[in-house]
Structure 1
């Protein structure tokens, strides 16, 4: 059986059960690149998914933006131990909760300033706690102030200066550098990159990454001329499990957001994400572009700094805004792989030892129980073949 047939056979039963309604996939082994698509935009009827379909990639946005952070480090615009208050004065003189989930009014001074390294390793001091109280009083206060901390919602957040002002009014959950907390650091990273470079984040990503790599369908919105390759997003009702429409093709991603979220805001295609994977697999260079990122920066980005904190099994650690597989996943990715998954239904990982790249983009969001079984089926097929 050919590798592409094995992958299609593994994925098809899930699509036939609308879990998800449609998907596109790409697997590269060295220079051998195979890709395919199955299913439709709608559970019943609707246009078919194609290889060039545009999907909401949610948290796969994080490593995309991390690559541009590494470029600014290479340029000397940023340094890992720089206090971020140089560019983000809203984060100077931080206060920290006296107790992890205590009242907002009971705080102590931060032991030290927040650094660029803290932001990249998600040890800024505030974020989603995968092991403890969730969401916690600080995240609840963020929500109350109009800052989105739930599923991706580009229309919710205010523009970056106002986002930082509101965030800066709240204490940190823990001391800077103390522990890994998910997501919020990525949103702060996006503002940091824009201010350090002196350019709004969408333009910065396009200039430094998307345009050189030919990632023509990756952006924070889908303009009318590309809308025919975009479709609705689906999610499970938390109570009944029934499939519900989360967002329409002309919904929240149909216009540029006020806040370009470096944590979950991008849309992309399997081929665009492969162009990025090929750059990293090549140590920061491709035959088409030449060197865009130093080999040292690629290694730094894809090295684990925090241990097994990024998944329930303790198998995934964290580099610079990027997941790192620190132990073999049963029937799936080998140790040393790096990449990340997105809650809107995406997964993107690279195994540098074998040169294997796997990308799966779907139009169904994860449920409260976690990702669809289609993800295990995909990775099992990728590494079995």
Structure 2
């Protein structure tokens, strides 16, 4: 399999899909093959963006199994900013045309992207307001520190009452801040001690240490006519330590071998060696579709997303087709992870903005 994967990624580098690609294949037994092609090696530290979501889901479930958090607990217990939510009367209503939310936001709502916050997919007053107050999601790094971002988000109405719709992304920014408040310390410190160090994820965090700057490749996007243009510099920029502000709502950097350790733990039923990381019952919830059909509307995400697909806790779940039971997620700079029911997994890392080129690469490596 390694030679086939090597041929695929070398072909994609040659045709200009990405300047560099790393793939890690493994399984629950401990097998791991890492191959790379192009401008960065297999130890590159990359911006994994939304592949942070499965990590936060596991961190949340660990607090649940320790009795420190309940999936159905209202988050306003720790986040008073989110008490007494108001909801737009219609999707295109003015910001003051609101009604009371029918229920509070819970931890489960955050894990399932059903909190009422999320990416706006159509023009309107709410989308304009999110752009203006710098809470609208994009491929750019977050523009506000965690508290300022939460305050700006809390000043806006919800798109729908919690549990009554599905919108991507912002729930996990809120979740990161929530976890820090629950543990009473820096989220980065908690993740390092509770998850990364036990799994041997030595290069995973919110920033890249300055001595490791040479391992951070540049990030690119494809122009309309094909050529790549840089959007983040190599060895510099937002993700270099020290962090400009609290990044509890932001996204991680990692490596192929680090994220493979995380994927192997999931593939092994929530175990890492002799250590139980996630209880089986909670892992089953994480990798099971939690979204009722009535919420899988065409306007909730990109066209076709829900075809044979569901959403668990921080991961998409394939509910139909030859890969039924596969789960995982991607990052906006061309990264991807999936775990199959047979205990095998694959991690794909590039640093190109998500688009047709990255999707063709993922399809060839599916």
Q: Is the structural similarity TM-score above 0.5?
A: yes
1:191 aligns with 2:177: yes
Q: Distance in 2 between matches of 1:81 and 1:193?
A: 15
Distance 1:151 1:101 in 2: 25
Q: 1:247 aligns with which of 232, 241, 255?
A: 232
Partner of 1:44: none
Superposition deviation, residue 152 in structure 1? 3.8
Aligned residues: 355
Distance 1:269 1:307 in 2: 34
Residue 295 of structure 1 corresponds to 280
Q: Deviations over 1:302-341 (max 9, x none)?
A: 1111157466251221111211111226xxxx11111101
Match of 1:318 in 2: 311
Secondary structure, counterpart of 1:320 in structure 2: coil
Please say if residues 127 and 139 of structure 1, whose CA atoms lie closer than 8 Å, have aligned partners that are also in contact.
Answer: no
Instruction: Mark the CA change 1:196 to 1:13 in structure 2 (over 3 Å): closer, same or farther.
Output: same
Contact 1:58 1:152 (8 Å CA) reproduced: no
Residue of structure 2 in register with 1:339 after alignment: 328
Structure 2 CA distance for aligned equivalents of residues 270 and 282 of structure 1:
18
User: Is residue 2:30 matched to residue 1:12?
Assistant: no
Going from structure 1 to structure 2, the CA distance change for 1:290 and 1:354 (only over 3 Å counts) comes to: same
Match of 1:57, SS state, is strand
Could you tell me which of 358, 370, 379 is aligned with 2:346? 358
Paired position in structure 1 for 2:34: 35
Q: CA deviation at 1:148?
A: 4.5
CA contact (8 A) 2:61 2:282 kept: yes
Gaps of at least 5 residues in structure 1 are 41-48, 380-385
How far does the alpha carbon of each residue in 1:154-209 deviate from its partner, in whole angstroms, 9 at most, with x for none?
A: 4x122x22222111111001111001110010111101111111112111111111
Measure the CA separation in 1 of the matches of 2:353 and 2:316: 19
CA distance in 2, matches of 1:370, 1:80: 38
Aligned to 1:169: 155
Q: Specify whether residues 77 and 157 from structure 1 end up closer, same or farther in structure 2 by C-alpha distance, changes over 3 A only.
A: same
CA shift digits 1:247-275 (9 cap, x unpaired): 0120111132424255x611111111111
The answer to whether the 8 Å contact 2:333/2:354 transfers is yes
Tell whether the 8 Å contact from 2:204 to 2:252 is kept in structure 1 after alignment: yes
Return the alpha-carbon distance in structure 2 between the equivalents of residues 135 and 213 of structure 1: 43
Q: 2:133 — aligned with what?
A: 145
TM-score after normalising by structure 2: 0.92
**Unmatched 5+ residue regions in structure 2?**
none
**Equivalent of 1:92 in 70, 80, 83:** 83
Q: Report the Cα distance in structure 2 between the residues aligned to 1:227 and 1:293, rounded to whole angstroms.
A: 33
Tell me, yes or no, if the aligned pair for 1:146 and 1:157 is still in contact at 8 Å. Answer: yes
Look up the match of 1:46: none
Name the CA distance, whole Å, in 1 between partners of 2:59 and 2:72. 17
Q: Distance in 2 between matches of 1:209 and 1:30?
A: 18
Tell me, in whole angstroms, the C-alpha distance in 1 between the residues paired with 2:144 and 2:238: 12
- 1:30 deviation in Å? 4.6
The separation in 2 between residues aligned to 1:135 and 1:278, in whole angstroms, is 41
Deviations 1:131-156 (A, max 9, x none): xx4355324312211325111414x1
Q: Residue 188 of structure 2 contacts residue 248 of structure 2 at CA under 8 Å; is this kept in 1?
A: no
Deviations 1:195-239 (A, max 9, x none): 1111121111111111111101111111111112111111123x4
* 1:217 paired to 2:210: no
Deviation at 1:373, TM superposition (A): 1.2
Per-residue deviation, residues 88-141 of structure 1 (Å, max 9, x unmatched)? 111101110011121111111111111111111110012125xxx435532431
2:263 matches 1:268: no
- Superposed displacement of residue 11, structure 1: 2.1
* Distance change >3 Å, CA 9–CA 135, structure 1 → 2: farther
Q: Distance in 1 between matches of 2:34 and 2:157?
A: 46
Change (3 A) 1:161 1:39: same
Tell me by how many angstroms 1:291 deviates: 1.3
Among 70, 73, 91, the alignment partner of 1:82 is: 73
Match in the other structure for 1:108: 99
